[in-house]
Copies of this chain bind each other. A is one copy, B any other.
Amino acid sequence: MIKTSTGNFFEDFRLGQTIGRATPRTITRGDVALYCGLFGARFAVQSSSAFATAIGYRDAPVDDLLVFHVVFGKTVPDISLNAVANLGYAACRFLAPVFTGDTLSATSEVIGLKENSNRKTGIVYVRTRGAKQDGTPVLEYVRWVMVRKRDETAPAPADDVPPLPAAVEPDRLGAACPPIDGAAYDFALAGSPHRFDDYQIGEKIDHVDGVTVEEAEHQIATRLYQNTARIHFDQFAAEQSRFGRRLIYGGHVISLARALSFNGLANAFHIAAINGGRHVAPLFAGATVYAWSEVLGKSELPGRGDVGALRLRTVATKDRPCADFPLKLAVGPTERRTRVTSEQDYDPAVLLDLDYWALIPR
C-alpha cells in the first residue's frame, strides 16, 4: 500500500464529489503577528484589540485574507497538487469573524469539470467551505484550476461548467461583520477620515508604495497556511520548468495589494466578498509589487446603517508604479467584465485583477 499521496489528477475528480477536511489548523496570535511581519497591513480593526472591541467585535478579528489563505491551503493536497494554473475565484463570501483560538478546516465539492482539447489537462471547479471546530462556516468560495491528467488516454467526464455569478449580491454581504458602533469608530486612530459617502463610483486610487518580494518571505507565508503546492518551494524542480523559478503563490499578491491599499482605503476594514479574481501573470522573487484600486460600485446593506459596501477592483503590478492606473491594452470598457477576456489584453505589468466587496463605516 503506497503511503505517499500524489494528489488527485483530472480524471480522479467526479462531479458532486466531496473532498477534504484534512488537516485542521488553529489560528493563533502568532499567526497574526507573522502575517503582519510578512505584509504589514495597518487596518485598525485587525491590528488593535482595543479598537476592535470598542466598535463591537469581541476581539481583533483575524485578517480576512489570512483566513482565506489557510482555508485555501487546506484544499491544495486534494485539489491542486497537480495543478498547472489556478485560473480564478468567484462567489467568495466571508461568513463569520474568525478569532485567534479558532480551528479552521475545509471541505470542497466538485461542481464542474471540463477537459481541455489537448486531453492533457482539464479544468476542475470546486466550491470550498471553511468552518470552525464547532461547524460554524467562516468562508465559502468557488475556484477553478487547471489540473494535469495522470494518463492522457484516460476517459474524462462530460463537460459540466457551472454558472457563476459575476458578483456577490449586496444582500448576501456582511455576515462576518458584527454591528459596528459608529460613534466609537475613531477615524483619527484608523488613519483616514474617508468613509462610505466619500468614495465615488469610478474613482481611482493609487496606493503609491511598492514592495519587493523575497523568496524567504513568500515561502514562509505559504507554509504558514500549510499550503504544500510544490511549485512555490522547490527550486531544483523549478529549474526544469518553463519559468525556471519558484512561482509565488497567487494569494501572496492579493495580500500584498491589500496591505498597500491601506493608503487610500484605510477604513475599508473588512473584505466581505470576492466577486472574482484573476492572476494575470506570474510573480517571481525580486520583483516589486505596486497596486491601485477603482471603485466599481457602492451599496448599502439591507437593514444596516453602520457600514456600507464598496465594490473595488484592486490591480497589482510588478516593477511598475501605478500613478496612471495600468490595466488593459486598448480594450474597450464593454469587455471589461467579460470572463473570456484573454490575458493578452492586460498591460504586461499587471499581476492581479481582483474584484471584491469591502465594508466601510457610513
Interface residues of A (CB under 8 A from B): 1, 3-6, 21-26, 28-34, 36-40, 42-44, 47-51, 60, 77, 101, 103, 105, 133, 188-192, 194, 198-199, 203, 205-212, 214-217, 219-224, 226-228, 230, 233-237, 246, 263-266, 286-288, 319, 321
Q: Do A37 and B221 contact each other (CB < 8 Å), given the known contacts A21-B188, A29-B30, A288-B236? A: yes
Q: How far is the CA of A220 from the CA of B33 in the complex (A)?
A: 10
With beta carbons under 8 angstroms apart, the residue of B23, B51, B60, B220 that contacts A191 is B23
Count this chain's copies in the assembly: 3
With beta carbons under 8 angstroms apart, the residue of B34, B189, B265 that contacts A21 is B189
With beta carbons under 8 angstroms apart, the residue of B30, B105, B189, B234 that contacts A33 is B30
Residues of B near A223 (CB, < 8 A) are: 36-40
Residues of B near A191 (CB, < 8 A) are: 22-23, 77
Q: Do A24 and B5 contact each other (CB < 8 Å), given the known contacts A77-B191, A234-B211, A236-B212? A: no
With beta carbons under 8 angstroms apart, the residue of B3, B33, B34, B47 that contacts A24 is B47
Q: How far is the CA of A44 from the CA of B28 in the complex (A)?
A: 15
Determine if B30 and A48 form an interchain contact, defined as CB atoms under 8 angstroms apart: no
Q: How far is the CA of A139 from the CA of B32 in the complex (A)?
A: 25
Determine if B30 and A101 form an interchain contact, defined as CB atoms under 8 angstroms apart: no
